Structures are given as C-alpha cells and as structure tokens.
Amino acid sequence: MHTFDKFLCCFWLFAGSVSVCFSQQLATGPQVLAFQSAADDTDQPYAIYIPENFDERKAYPLVIMLHGAGSNHRLALRRVFGKSNAEGETDVEASRYFPEWDDVPYIVAAPFARGTAGYQGIPEKDVYAVLADIKKRFNIDENRIYLTGLSMGGGGTLWLGLSRPDIWAALAAVCPAPPKGTADLLGNALNLPVHFFHGDADPVVPIEGTRAMVDQMQEKGIYVQSEEYEGVKHDSWVNAYADGRIFDWLGQFERDPFPAKVSFSTRDLAYNRAYWVEILQIDPGTLAAIDAEVISGNEIKISSQNITSFQLNLKDHPSIKADNLLNLEINGRKLRIAFQDVLSLYKDGTTWRPGNLIAEGGLVKRKGSSGPIYAAFSDRHIYVYGTADNPRSEELEQRRAVALEAANWSIYRGEFLGRVHFFPRVLADKEIRPSDLESSHLILFGTTETNSILESIREDLPMHLTTEDESLGMLYVYPNNGRLVVVNSGKPWWGGSRPEGYSFVGPTQRNLPQFKDFMIYRDDPDTILVDGYFDTFWQLPRDKESELTALPSVEIW
C-alpha cells in the first residue's frame, strides 16, 4: 500500500471513531516477533505467520498454537501447518528455518512461553501477552480467535480455553496433557466447540484421559468431536495437523459474546468471568459454579454453588430490554429488579440481594488479590533474603543461596526439557526499592528478626514463626499495599514427594500450584501439620486458628 493510501486509511479509521490505526510494515509469511515481559523485563519471542496479500483494513481471524514439551515456538508454527521434520532431521535442525507451506487467510501465532514450563502461571501470562501484542499490531476479529496445541500444549489449550472460555471461538487439543484441576472445568465449554485428536497407542499421554473428558463433555451437552488414530503413538499431531487441515475445522466457528446460557466453574478468582457472568466472591478453597440462562424476555434463571457475590454484565445483551424490569430466579428464589448495565448481587444468608457485599478498598479477597500461594509466583515477583541481624558471612551466603535456589526456574533438566526461560530477581532486604514494593510481589525469607521487610510489615501480617523448633517451616500468602507477599520462615517449601499429574517445571517450583493459602510443615511439605485457606476477609478460620495456636513455634497476630 502506498504512503498516501495508508494516510487515507488512517484518516478513515479516525473518522469512523476507531482509536487504533493499523499500519503493518512486516513482510508476509512466517517470522519471529517479541514482546517485553512485565514479569521479568525480558524480550520473549513468538513465531507468527502473516498471510499473503495481507490487507490492514481487514479484520483477520487468529489461531494461537501452543508447543509441546521439549519444543519451541518455531517448531510449533511448522507443526500447525502440517510440516514435520525432514527425513532424519532433528528438532534442533528443524528450528533453524521455516519451510514453504500453503497460504491460509489467518494470522497464526506460536508463543515460546518460557520453553518447557507448562501453561500455568508465567507461561500462561505470556500467551495472553502475545495475544495482546498481536491485537496492537493487527486488526483481529474478536469473535474468531482460536486455540490449539499438542501434548503439553494440548493440555495448555484445555486449561487456557476452559478457564477463560469467552475469549476463544473453538479449541483443538492434540494428545493433551492437562494440568491438575482441568477436569473440574469441562462444563465451561458449553459455548465453546472442542476437538480432540489422540493416538490409541500413545505411551506418553494415555488416550484413556482424553476418552474420559470426551464422555464427560458429551454428558453435559457440549459440542465435542474426537479423532482416534489406530496404532499411532505420541506423534498424533502429524495426523491432526496434516496439510493444514485444522484451519478448516476451526474456521467453522465464531464466538457468541452473549450466549443465552452460561455455565462456569472456577476455584480461583483469577478466572472469574465467562461472557456476561462475573463471579465476585467465592467460598475460599471450593469449586464455585454458576449457571445463568435468559429464559425469555427479561427473565433470567440462575443457580449457583459456593458463591457469595456475582454480577451480570447486561449492557448490549441482545435478548435483554433495558427499559423493562428484570425477573430473576436465583436458586429457586425470585427477585424483581430494575435493569442495570452491570447488576451486582450478594448472598445475605439464604437470600440474594442487589448490591455489592464488599466495599471498595477493604481487605478482602478479590480478583488480583485472592491467593493461593502460587498466585504470587504467577506474576512479577522478587526473592528477598534477610540481613537485618547482621549475620556472619557464612550465614549470609547460606541465606542468599536459599533465595537463589528458590528463584532458579532455569535449572538445567537435560537436553529434552532444557531450561525454563524465566529470570526473576534475588535481592537482600536492604536492596529493595520503593518501586519494587509498588510493582512486584515479594517472596520473603526468614523471620521478623532477620528480614527487615518482614519486620516493617509485621503488624499487617497474620502469623509469624519463632525459632523454637528448627524442624518447622511456614509458608503463606497475604496481601500488602496492593501486592502479595509470600512468607517462608524456617524450612524452605521445596523437597518431599513429586505431586500427581504432569509437571513441567523444576523441583523447587513443582509443588507450588498445589499449595493452599498457608501451611505449617515439618522438614518438607510431605509432613503438613496445618494448612488451609484464609476466609473472604483474609482472616484465619476459627478451627485453623485453634490448630495453629496449639503449635508452640507459631505466633498468631
């Protein structure tokens, strides 16, 4: 497009009240771009395909492809177009170039996502960062964004797709290895078509897991398809992506932003919204579930479980008339109320009432500040060791070594798994700056006597560990000044048995996604003495407070 034509395009977009002018200067075809990660300030790559005859005035569908373990973004882009390695070619060799393939009218992106690290926490945020970066660069059709992946990436496809189902138009999961807890979310695909592909002789990810998920989805009335390949082992992606056929299947579907019925479950307020339904508060530690359906006119039927507050985002809902009253039925109880663009409701005993139970600014679990422990490790964070008691050089080095071990996500795990490309900072307490407190969660090691940051917020924290019993360890998460702190006193949190399910990170981080809000243990997490969740107001439940008080080395604030 000539410069003058681009000027006219920008002017037309401005005149049409569109705030973004897309003026893409990249060559078409496969290539690698990058975004700056807010988690560790690194440039993170992703492979992208820009279709031939690209027209910046056109809204393009987008396919995001998630690679498997031991793979990368370059190989993933090849795979989704059906391009396997050449005869005798290694993955290392195949990663060095992009072969030719048939054009498709899609933008296709494959995040690197830190290498072999699964798709929860930091890698998960990377996928959404890639999505945001692409939307800044290109005009994307919001109702035609698709997600697919193989093996570890197939599991990531299910996790990202089911935890945030209103983003995607369809999912295609190839020999998926999903993280623990994914099965709880299968019903979230009520408005999200899903296609599974799996070899029946797969020795790495047995097909029985996929078959069970397909059966459960069918029982819930979900649009689900499954292809099984007789005699095929773990390389079922060769069949699934052959000749770029996946684009034809995905392209059948468009997202409906306002489906008549929404079914959504979550254990974590980090994932609290689906379409026009948003969960505000849940009973901590439970699986919260809500079904909301527009029956007719302004009549909405809702059932909920383990939810104390939610809201309906009804602005622009095509089936709701703004000038009519709403007739709600919530868990069998009826409520008649004036229409609102955003209608908030809370549970008062067994009665649901309009309004928000919790005022802004109070200490309360909410999206972005709800725990559990892993939440602090899933965003920008700093590992902080203590120097407040002026330790001798040997002791200081030992403390620093513990913090370095905790922060070493990039431990080498052999040629296949490689390293996790995540590089958080490790600092002494005296090196923390005000900007660190504003921008980062803090992983604090030591006690109030040894760590000056811990001492400075002592009165704002719920518990502390004394040094009476050196075999104990304490680990908990708590909000502080808009961020999260994780306190690890006594024994470090790593060690013990490997958790069930697929784990794609190193031994220090392996157990983190399984932890609750707080835990006291002896030597390592295999011997938990007390653990649990803080309540909605970040208070210790009465029974847990009694258990903690019975431990002589624990002080309750």
Q: What is the pLDDT along the chain (557 residues), one digit of tens a residue?
A: 444 344 434 434 443 444 455 555 899 999 999 999 999 999 999 999 999 999 999 999 999 999 999 999 999 999 999 999 999 999 999 999 999 999 999 999 999 999 999 999 999 999 999 999 999 999 999 999 999 999 999 999 999 999 999 999 999 999 999 999 999 999 999 999 999 999 999 999 999 999 999 999 999 999 999 999 999 999 999 999 999 999 999 999 999 999 999 999 999 999 999 999 999 999 999 999 999 999 988 999 999 999 999 999 999 999 999 888 999 999 999 999 999 999 999 999 889 999 887 766 678 999 999 999 999 999 999 999 999 999 999 999 999 999 999 999 999 999 999 999 999 999 999 999 999 999 999 999 999 999 999 999 999 999 999 877 899 999 999 999 999 999 999 999 999 887 777 889 999 999 999 999 999 999 999 999 999 999 999 999 999 999 999 998 999 98
CB 165 within 8 A of CB 191: yes
Q: Report the candidate in 424, 421, 428 with the shortest Cα–Cα distance to residue 444.
A: 428
Q: What is the pLDDT of residue 1?
A: 42
CA 170, 173, 179, 180 torsion-angle sign? positive
pLDDT of residue 362: 75
Q: What global pTM score does this model have?
A: 0.94
Predicted local distance difference test score (pLDDT) of residue 450: 96
Specify the pLDDT at position 12. Answer: 41
The CATH class of the 25-250 domain is alpha beta
Dihedral angle computed from the Cα positions of residues 279, 220, 213 and 62, in that order, rounded to the nearest 10 degrees: -60
Nearest to 472 by CA among 495, 485, 454, 489: 489
Between strands 425-428 and 518-522, the pairing is unpaired
Alpha-carbon Rg for the chain, nearest whole angstrom, is 25
- Rounded distance between C-alpha atoms, residue 213 and residue 222, angstroms: 11
CA–CA–CA angle 411, 417, 418 (5° rounding): 50
How large is the greatest C-alpha to C-alpha distance in the chain, in angstroms?
A: 77
Q: How many whole angstroms separate alpha carbon 215 and alpha carbon 207?
A: 12
pLDDT for the residue 377: 98
Q: What is the pLDDT of residue 498?
A: 77
Beta bridge partners of 519: 475, 531
For the CA atoms of 228, 231, 235, 240, the dihedral, rounded to the nearest 10 degrees, stands at -30
Q: Which fold has domain 374-556?
A: Chitobiase; domain 2 (3.30.379)
CA dist 404 and 519 (Å) reads 22
Helix 122-137 and helix 152-163: axis angle, to 10°?
Answer: 70
- Nearest-angstrom CA–CA distance, 489 and 464: 8
326-330 and 351-354 beta bridge pairing: unpaired
Contacts with 4 (C-beta within 8 Å, 6 or more apart), sequence order:
none
Please name the residue ranges forming H helices in 198-279. Answer: 207-219, 237-240, 246-250
The length of the chain is 557
Domain ranges of the chain: 25-250, 261-354, 374-556
Give the pLDDT confidence score for residue 22 in this predicted structure: 53
3-state secondary structure of 299: strand
Q: Quote the CA–CA distance of 126 and 36 in Å, as a whole number.
A: 10
Instruction: Count CA within 13 A, CB hemisphere, residue 296.
Output: 0
Token pair for 57: 């005035």
Q: Write down the pLDDT at residue 25.
A: 80
